């Protein structure tokens, strides 16, 4: 079973390259977005990493647009 409250987020002081943090009750991971790849993982289970990576791939354009909207180009 997947954690239903998994969060995908940016931090206000985030930096390039464009990336997203994925957090749930088990821990947090960080993914680069333009070429989706796992950068770090602190506690997320493999099934959650795989699901997060798939969701980031599927929503890549939205994530990049939101990054630019928040952080500027």
DSSP assignment of 10-47 equals --TT--SSPEEEEEETTEEEEEETTTTEEEEEES--HH
* Domain annotation covers residue 50: yes
- State which residues form the domain around 47: 17-71
* Domain annotation covers residue 9: no
> What is the chain's pLDDT, residue by residue, as a tens digit (73 residues)?
555 578 999 999 999 999 999 999 999 999 999 999 999 999 999 999 999 999 999 999 999 999 999 998 7
pLDDT of residue 60: 97
pTM: 0.90
* Number of domains the chain is built from: 1
pLDDT of residue 73: 76
């Amino acid at each position: 079973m997947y954690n239903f409250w998994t969060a995908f987020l940016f931090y206000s002081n985030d930096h390039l390259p464009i990336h997203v943090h994925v957090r749930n009750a088990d821990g947090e991971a960080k993914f680069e977005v333009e070429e989706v790849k796992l950068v770090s993982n602190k506690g997320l289970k493999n099934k959650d990493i795989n699901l997060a990576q798939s969701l980031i791939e599927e929503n890549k354009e939205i994530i990049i647009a939101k990054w630019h909207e928040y952080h500027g180009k």
